[in-house]
Chain A
Amino acid sequence: MSDTAPFRPPVPGSQPEYDVKIYGSTALRAPSQPLIRIAQSITERTGPHFSPARYPSNIDISKVASGEAQGQRIIVEGHVRDEDGRPVPHTMIELWQANSCGRYHHEGDQHDAPLDQHFQGSGRVFTDENGKYRYTSIKPGAYPWRNHHNAWRPNHIHYSLFGPGFATRLITQMYFEGDPLLKYDPIYNSLPDPAAAARLIAGFDINLTEPEWALGYRFDVTLRGRGATPFEDAHEEH
């Protein structure tokens, strides 16, 4: 497969629509006109490359120079692969999250929960040659939002990934196994296929825990693969 071949279209049902009735903020921000499908050219097939030399990694969000954050320490590890199962090596992952009380270190977050002077809430990691990444953080708290009466976001960590082309750019959220808020969350449930939503859940992994130190969660990410698949024909119909 050429490293400049186009990326596959999304598998039907695997990505959210723009207009999601249960997620109120989409009402005025979703396009009303149909999207125009374009063939991927050099602009879409290639993309930026980031190196730790220029974009330093920060693999431990659980502390700052002045001290350690409050909360349940966690280790998150996983692999970034493409749709053929091939590792995506040396790609940058950006992370951000609320503190253990469910508050972001952000002026726009006025939730009545304490800030933590030892928690900034953002990190940056790179996958290794096998596509593996790992970082340390604290488990983010749930927090209320105003989408509907008594709306709460489940615990989650935001992910930003690039991959090999601009067409593989991905913003997503990692959720936690067993969170009772998942079934009420319009963002998690914005996905047409429940299996697509389930793929956003990190599983607890006893093998990733460090005794006397931190719990462990595993979260793998799959980016678009290159080349045509049988899905391409189905996709052409709409």
Chain B
Amino acid sequence: MPIATASQTIGPYWHLLRDDTWSDLTRFGATGDVITLQGRITDGAGNLITDACVEIWQSSPPVSDVFDGFGRAASNAEGLFSFKTLRPEPVPGASGPMGNTRQAPHIALTILARGVTKALWTRIYFQGDAGHDEDPVLSLIPPARRNTLIAHQTKPGVWHLDIALQGASETVFFEI
């Protein structure tokens, strides 16, 4: 049986693909609860990561002609990435022996970069949303590390979540 092709790093020159309009998921005319989602990425020594390709995908709101659900942003000289998108709603959880579950609003986020051999998978949740205690993914995470996935609002409509690839405040990454 064929085996899936191996991942290789995206490297330092992925910007040849870069199109900054992709960081705005409302660019095709989507309307709703528009938010800015931003964060700063650091490595295990606290250095800013200025060459990352950050991608997001959200299954809510549903994909439509005006909403791709997908965005890509480059981290800048300050290690910052920023997206404009729509606030997600709760979605169903994975079906399985635990029965029907419901997931709190979240957005999947991956980090691709030089020195990152395969995508680093994480999620962004929103501070203050209902359902975090029952969320099937957050529930797998030791309580002391859950806050690495929970963005906070710095001003109305602007949500911030820093991402540490390694170290004391290391973001929780998933195997999926």
Question: Hey, which bits of chain A sit against chain B, CB under 8 A?
Answer: 6, 9-11, 14-18, 20, 23-33, 35-44, 46-50, 54, 81-85, 94, 96, 98, 104-106, 108-109, 120-122, 158, 160, 166-167, 169-173, 187-188, 190-191, 195-197, 199-200, 221-225, 229
Contact = CB atoms under 8 A, between A and B. Distances in A.
A27 B5 CA distance: 24
B115 A48 contact: no
Contacts of A104: 13, 16
B94 interface: yes
Contacts, number: 218
Nearest to A200: B6
B2 interface: yes
Interface centre among B5, B58, B108, by most A CB within 10 Å?
B5
B16 A221 contact: no
Nearest to B114: A25
Interface in B58-86: 58-59, 63, 68-70
Contacts of A188: 8
Interface residues of B, number: 66
A43 B174 contact: no
Nearest to B51: A108
A28 B10 contact: no
Give the secondary structure class of A's interface. loop
Contacts of B136: 38-39, 41
Interface of B: 1-17, 28, 43-45, 47, 49, 51, 55, 57-59, 63, 68-70, 91-94, 96, 103, 106, 108, 110, 112-120, 123, 136-137, 140-141, 145, 165-167, 170-176
A202 to B, nearest CB: 12
Contacts of B115: 23-30
A14 B10 contact: no
B16 A171 contact: no
A161 B167 CA distance: 30
Contacts of B68: 48-50
Nearest to B41: A29
